[in-house]
Chain A
Amino acid sequence: MSAKRYQPGDHLTPLTKPPVTKIQLVKYSGASGDFNPIHTVEEFAKEAGLGGVIAHGMLTMGFVAQMLTDEIGEAGDLLSFGVRFVDMVRPGDIITCDGVVQEVKEEEGYQVVTCDVWAQKSPGDVRVVQGTATFRIPLA
């Protein structure tokens, strides 16, 4: 398998997720062990001034991670991945993850790719998560 050669400015393959659901927030709470009721209990979230339950930031980060691992494939490795949680995600939101390559280096038979990554509610809309990731893919 010959790997794609990345260039600065290349877009990663975007990933659009199905709408976030309340059931999904319950599932993510259980799977992650984060039982903060702002993600699952409507009354609690309203009392906290959130207007209703909000998604775990880490769930949206998981969506961006999915885009990255799809991009990288089985032969590559994610080396680092960090995000800032910028805005809230709510049930019903459709999240699209995207990224742009910033830097490409060659190291010991790998191309090492650093990119800006983000998630937004619709293309052009405000970003809910913004960060960077570095991955490597074998050259040969």
Chain B
Amino acid sequence: MELADFERLLGVWSKPVQNEVEKGAIRKFADAIGDPNPLYRDEERAAKSRFGRLVAPPTFSRTFDYGVIPGLEMPTEGLIHGEMAYTYHKPILAGDVLYASFALTDVKERAGKLGRMILLVFTYKVENEAGDLVQEAKSTVIYRPEGGRAQ
């Protein structure tokens, strides 16, 4: 895809996808990071906390299915994750049923040292069943259409 193809998709949101927050998924995610926080795995301890249930780590929403933006074909190679930024509105807890969607919200082309780069900013949104915003994230991905060696 070229700059103009990406620009055509600006602001087109994926259809929200239902994601159930499973306690096993939380534990595996925390284990992979090596974070021993008991709130991620000790149900009794979590039940006594103000959360009442197991809590998901701050970057756990990375695991969600955000659906598909019709017409968006992301290359599988030559992508570099440049930035990631979260805004947290409510905690994500085991058993939550959440709705996740995303959109391409900014696209720019730059001439870099390593050739032409397309900067893609994706905005991710997670809402609960009541329609309240739980979390937002912005991810900047750098794509080099000519490929070439990653740095």
Contacts and interface: CB of A to CB of B under 8 A. Distances in A.
Contacts of B151: 49
B25 interface: yes
Contact of B28 (A30, A56, A65, A78): A30
Contacts of B29: 31-32
Contacts of A69: 35, 37, 57-58
Contacts of A38: 150
Chain B interface main SS type = mixed
Interface string B110-148: 000000000000000000000000000010000000001
Contacts of A36: 76, 79
Contacts of A85: 80-84
Nearest to B28: A31
B63 to A, nearest CB: 6
Interface string B52-66: 000001110011000
B94 to A, nearest CB: 15
Interface in B24-56: 25, 28-29, 31-35, 37, 39, 49-50
Top-3 shortest CB links A-B: A82-B85, A49-B149, A62-B33
16 contacts: A24-B34, A31-B29, A38-B150, A49-B151, A50-B150, A57-B81, A62-B35, A62-B59, A63-B34, A74-B50, A75-B50, A77-B88, A78-B88, A80-B85, A85-B81, A85-B82
Interface of A: 17-18, 24, 27-28, 30-34, 36, 38, 48-50, 56-59, 61-63, 65-66, 68-70, 74-75, 77-85, 131
